[in-house]
Amino acid sequence: MRRYKEQESREFKRRKRKQAIRRKILGFCAFTFLLGVLCGRIVFAKGDKDFVETLAEYAQKDINEEKDLEPDIEAGVEGQGFSGNLLTAGEETQEEEAWKLTLVNKWNPVEEGYKPALAEIENNYYFDARAVGYLQEMLADGRRAGLDFWVCSAYRTVEKQTELFEDKVRRVTYETGLTGEAAREKAGTEVAYPGTSEHNLGLAVDIVARDYQILDEKQARTDEAQWLKENCWKYGFILRYPTDKTEETGIIFEPWHYRYVGEQAAKEIMEQGICLEEYLDAVQTHEKETSEKI
């Protein structure tokens, strides 16, 4: 019996020891696990920090690179340090932008059946959709400066141009007594022959002062006409029929008629006081000389 009790007590102690060992193992495991989690967090946190720092570095690098670009762009404009291929760039641009310089006058009619994609300027007047934005910007800027523009003509179909021209011939006959070809010729200096008006091209617009809507030379004295003459080139427009270019253009002075040619050509034309015909002649001569040199 005693022996049994001793045995029981030994068994009890053994169990106790086993339990203690199990607790120690569990404790150790729990401690290791906790340690692991803690270390993991630190590592993750450090990783995150590094990652954030790396992102910050990249962002800064981008900013620096953008800053570095600025002087290059300016240098390009100044013509210094520009390493791009100017010739190729020029050729591509020329082809892309040829539509802006399409010549239409009494010797160069619009291609038969030509109809550009149109967009409304305002009040049911339409313009070539590729350039309408520049025109609207010009009108908006002028209006902000206090001017009161009135658009009185823009895109015209050839049929409409025929109507206007025939109307003009009748008026010339009534006023001067001229008839036949003589009357048509005289009318042709004021209203373009059907198919030979820039209004058929969709790149011309007639703008007058709202309080002086008469199409005569006095239009040039209005603030609206003066502002347009001074600022049109910034939006890619030119005063198409200046006072002293009737021989070249075939049209009398029209202070209300503006033509879109793109900013670069507009700047050169207005600065040099030439007309589109002279500008295109100069470009052609320059191209010929350049190709002869090559």
Active-site hit among 57, 254, 263, 271 = 254
Stretch that binds Zn ion, among 20-28, 136-144, 202-210, 282-290 (CB under 5 A): 202-210
Q: Residue 245: helix, strand or coil by DSSP? A: coil
Q: Do residues 201 and 113 touch, judged by C-beta distance below 8 A?
A: no
The owner of tokens 């427009």 is 237
- Provide the minimum distance between the beta carbon of 94 and Zn ion in the complex, in angstroms, as a whole number: 27
Our finding on whether 156 is near Zn ion (CB under 5 A) is: no
CB nearer Zn ion, residue 82 or residue 212: 212
Closest CA to 254 of 215, 199, 222, 205: 215
Non-local CB neighbours of 104 within 8 Å, separated by 6+ positions: 110, 196, 197, 198, 200, 201
Q: Residue 157: helix, strand or coil by DSSP? A: coil
CB nearer Zn ion, residue 192 or residue 280: 192
CA distances from 141 to 8, 72, 164, 172, 237 (A): 107, 31, 31, 38, 14
Choosing from 168, 245, 257, 259, the residue that interacts with Zn ion (CB under 5 A) is 257
CB nearer Zn ion, residue 233 or residue 254: 254
Our finding on whether 206 is near Zn ion (CB under 5 A) is: yes
Count of residues near Zn ion by CB under 5 A: 2
- Provide the minimum distance between the beta carbon of 240 and Zn ion in the complex, in angstroms, as a whole number: 8
Active site residue 254: yes
- Provide the minimum distance between the beta carbon of 158 and Zn ion in the complex, in angstroms, as a whole number: 15
Beta bridge partners of 120: 126
- Provide the minimum distance between the beta carbon of 57 and Zn ion in the complex, in angstroms, as a whole number: 60
Our CA angle for 113, 119, 120, nearest 5°, is 120
Our finding on whether 245 is near Zn ion (CB under 5 A) is: no
Stretch that binds Zn ion, among 21-29, 167-175, 205-213, 243-251 (CB under 5 A): 205-213
Distance CA 228, CA 2 (A): 125
- Provide the minimum distance between the beta carbon of 273 and Zn ion in the complex, in angstroms, as a whole number: 20
Residue spans of beta strands (DSSP E) within the chain: 118-122, 125-128, 149-153, 204-209, 237-239, 257-260
CB nearer Zn ion, residue 164 or residue 274: 164
Stretch that binds Zn ion, among 26-34, 88-96, 225-233, 257-265 (CB under 5 A): 257-265
Catalytic positions are 254
For Zn ion, the binding residues (CB under 5 A) are 206, 257
